[in-house]
Structure 1
Amino acid sequence: MRTNQVLLLLMLSILWPSTALPFTPGNIGNLFGMAESDGRILQRSKRGWMWNQFFLLEEYTGNDHQYVGKLHSNMDKGDGNVRYVLTGDGAGTLFLIDEKSGDIHATKRLDREEKAMYTLVAKVLDRTTNAELEPDTEFNIKIHDINDNAPKFEKEIYFASVPEMSEVGTSVATITATDADDQTYGNSAKLVYSILQGQPYFSVDSENGTIKTALPGMDREVKENYQVVIQAKDMAGQMGGLSGTTTVSITLSDVNDSPPRFANHSFRVTAVESTEIGGAIGRIKADDPDVGRNAEMEYSIVGGHDIFNIITDQTTQEGVIIIKKALDYENKRDYEFRVEVKNTYLDARFIHGLQFKDYATVKVTVEDVDEPPVFTRNPYIIEVHEDTAAGSFVGVVSARDPDADNKPVKYSIDRHTDLERLFNIDSVNGTITTLKALDREMSKWHNISVVATEISNCGFHVFMIICFYAVDTDEPLVGHKFVFSISPTNPNFTIVDREDNTANILTKRGGFSRREMSMYFLPVVISDNDYPIQSSTSTLIVRVCACDSRGNMQTCNPEVLPFSDGLTTGALVAILLCVIILLMIVVLFAALRRQRKKEPLIISKEDVRDNVVSYNDEGGGEEDTQAFDIGTLRNPEVMDANKLRRDIIPEMLFPFRRTSPIKDNTDVRDFINGRLQENDSDPTAPPYDSLATYAYEGSGSLAESLSSLESAATEGDHDYDYLSNWGPQFKKLAEMYIGKSPDRET
């Protein structure tokens, strides 16, 4: 029985950790193996103070203090003479002890993540003497964890990459979360990972958060970026557990799984026969959906070619077709060759025979260029005896048109190279003769330029031969070797070293136009062959000379070019029309400024509002007197706002009229009819009757006549106090209107 009781107490202590057992001398032996032997109880020597480790759940939400446990000493007989005292972590603030009973309570809600265990010291004292009844003893209060923290990832978004075409199960990245709950107690911090978004392309290991590929053959060229949402849930993924999520942005990195391909397997290129060696005549392009080095390509001509070559532009990945040898339209006009393209860097996993190559056919058409004449020799060196008479034969030069048309050529001497006019040349056959006698002592060399001009319907193409020679003053001429060059290179001229310290300047094209450019400046660099190499630069000025309709060279001096030669007839007509229109606009503008500005009939709307008169009756007599005359309407500026009209009688001051006591209105009627007939028969009267004045008051007026005419005809003074004869009511009305206004009384 005692063994069973001991086991029961231990189980209660484990199952209910927040309850501390009150230990007494009677049950100490049961807990520490005391048993009967030979009919007597074996006693174990131990101090009287007994304790155990206490457990307390975090985040207590009750209203009262949370009970922790009970301390009890075998010195406590229950008579109240023992006092329990608590010191250590949180004693007196977080933890309180009942001095009499030894019960411990927590005063605040505790968080295990802030502090997981508290160490305290218990004392038992005599209440009367305050003497220690037991030695001080430490004990622990351990905070048990509850699941009050959700898993958290370090970042809200992660970035990862995996090569495209990877096998299923290839690891992409490992994304883990942390849980602040106790890792050693329960499942509060046991995490399980799952994928919420990103299937079926990716999967995640539920235990360690490793993301792997789940779909074979993922192609970057089809889809490059994926957004994968990973969830971490505690409580081993059970219902009620807390969770956290994060996003993983996965990019498929490129591998060389796509070959270059020509969108068009046939290209046509046009090349001008005058293209320099090494010059580009066209570009072709293959497409590769890969990126970076996997998209780098190299082009080559299958079997090579004598005239053409192809190189790769590393920036644009285009194939540039260049010239290896000079083109000649008269010799061959069409070429065709095959171009191969392939990747520079290949991936052995995707190479299958010729899968990563493509081919295209290139056809080159050579276009003709009107080339300048070509001399049969270059240069001509002719020896002439001195003292040769004028008109003597010197030599013959010959040039031909290299074009298929083989146009005739005319010859001339550039007089800038023969300022003394010592030589002459036949313009047809190229025969050079002397114009003056030659003297070796004056000059041993004469370098002249012969110009061969191609005669055509469109103009004259000129080819020049200019001979240079150089002199070094350091040493005698013998033994020196000079090198000639044009820097920078010029597309119109070239230089040919004659290997005898002289050089020739040759044209590289024909069809020079003075209107395009009348003068060219060629920097010629001359270098010696000694060490250190010395060089000098001289500028050669080449003028484009004018020729007449027969091809004869005219002056090469700068001149003002005719205006009409540079414009077409249509352009001249357009300019003339513009001038005429401009003149018309100027004249019209001047006429408008000189025109007098008409006075407006009506200045503003305010001038009309009070001038509209209704003519729907026979005439309103005094009520119509507010209308303006037509002259005022025509010229509103002369109207005087404060001036009364002279053609009407001023309006009566009183708004009310007394009914005439005379019943017979025959005289009034006759007066009105007479005036109407008079106005109707008057040819000078206006077309309306509102200007007629009807000022007859009748013969029965109690106030007598108010007419100024009648007043003038009557002798003596008149009594204007006619208001006294009227009734009292009318008098009141009159006083209301004029009694308080001096102006109206007047």
Structure 2
Amino acid sequence: MYTNKPLEPPSEFIVKVQDINDNPPEFLHGPYYARVPEMSNVGTSVMQVTATDADDPTYGNSARLVYSILQGQPYFSVEPQTGIIRTALPNMDREARQEYDVVIQAKDMGGHMGGLSGTTEVKITLTDVNDNPPKFPQSVYSMSVSEDKVEGEEVGRLKAKDPDMGDNGLVNYRLTDGDGLGMFVLSTDSETREAIIKLKKRVDFETKRSYTLKVEGYNVHVDPQYLAWGPYKDEATIKISVEDADEPPVFVAPSYTFEVEENAPAGTQVGRVHAKDTDIDNNPVRYMIPRYTDVEQFFSVNSEDGMITTTRPLDRETQAWHNISVSATEIGHHQDTKVRVNIKVKDRNDNAPEFATNNEVLMCENVMIETVSAVDKDEMAHRQHFTFSLAPEVAHNHNFSLKDNRDSTASIYVLRQGFSRLTQDVYFLPVEINDNGVPAMSSTSTLTVRVCSCDSKDTILSCNVEPYVLPAGLSTGALIAILACIVILLVIVVLFVALRRQKKEPLIVFEEEDIRENIITYDDEGGGEEDTEAFDIATLQNPDGANGFHPRKDMKPELQFPLRPGGHPAANSVDVDDFIKTRVAEADSDPTAPPYDSIQIYGYEGRGSLAGSLSSLESVTTESDLDYDYLHSWGPRFKKLADLYGTKDCSVHDGDDDDDC
């Protein structure tokens, strides 16, 4: 029977798994990078590498690791137990080799055979130290410079090399010795680190043809531990040769100052300028005066020897100094140089003295003492003075006397009293003035003495002609009032004239105006405008007051007046026709008269006539059965003549043959 119960009591068994070497060592953080300064001592620690093994480190040697270097010898080594990498070669130079690839192996089983291994790479870089001084590639450098170069221009460059990096390889330069220290200067290019030699002063080929300089290149940042190896600097020699250039001539003096006598004749020698060619060729030099420095051409210069001469006499009083330039040029070359020449005109006593101020003095009617002085256009010497005297022709006059004060002044005195402006107000006194120059010069100037009215204190009031004396009792206020009234009247007149002009009215109205009107005839039997015609009023002027021809306003008629239908000329119309034609001929032959058939204005209508008004307006208001058929086209004209001259109306035929018109 199955009861599912154990036949024996339970038992406990412990099963232990024995480790075997089935896991190789591993470098969990590889590859590795390390840095070590160059020139480090042997055994300098670089870094430590560590590997791990998954096997049981407590059972056997499966997890006991040993480190070794597979690559990187003989430069580096590794400690077998710790994995510390150290330098193994002395004086490793970064400049020779900077990077190293090292392979480190870790092996279990204590490094014995049968053990497992793992490897890793370590990149080691040598860092720079200042272990190299600067070095010039050459010990001697050759340069050249032309003598026409100016200050600051570059002559040449040189550079010292330093294999170190960064600040360790930074090189500075300086001039230390040589005969060119005063002629050249050195600077450093901040980008290329080159030494630049520049001109400090201009060189002269003819004076010195070569210079020598000593230049030093040195490190700024120095490592003291390497000072025993030697100085951190290098030195080179620079030889600079001066090249000849075509230069303009050079004057032996920076400027010239000469003197010439005033009024010296043309061709007088003033002085000589001299320039020479400093080049090796030593070409001849030619001279000239630029026109702009001597516009008036007072001077000329000999083109070959540089002698300056005058071209005309010089006047010191007009121009005491002449400042010109002289140009020197080598023959066959275009370069020139100029020098300033100052020429002083020496004074001669060639101007007579004259009064210093206006040669007029004022005196009162009873007294006068006046002091006069003189001037001279010539240069006044230290001991030069003027003397005065009356001209011989007035030396014995009875009005004035002159006293020389011996100090280049003179005093004028009156010899009498009682001068009157009404008798004589102006006196002319010739005075002779002399200087003591060489040669002595003199002149005679007329002094005008004017008699003036003075007050009790001899204060001059007026020197003009005697003015008009105002009436006694007329005060200043009254005089001002009179002037004010005159001004007001002038203003009123001006306003009146302006208003009259604005209204366009004549300033003067004549008593009788010649007013004329156009005479227009109307005929209600006619054809409108054909009955309107102007007449020559010259014929119809007032017979009692006609004084001549009056101009008229002309207008050429546009219409001719035909005969009225059914009309017949009067028997005596030929006489009137002849009269009209005669007047027309006279008007045409008169150049001052306008055409006869014109519109004329008139101012007189005659003495009247039995016919009454000629206007056809009257016939409009008056009922009339008058028959105007008997009037032909000349009827209105005849009727107007009759009205003006008071004669019988000849336009109506009375049947007889008498000439009673």
For the aligned pair, the TM-score class normalised by the smaller chain equals: 0.3 to 0.5
- Higher Rg of the two aligned structures: 2
- TM-score w.r.t. structure 2 length? 0.42
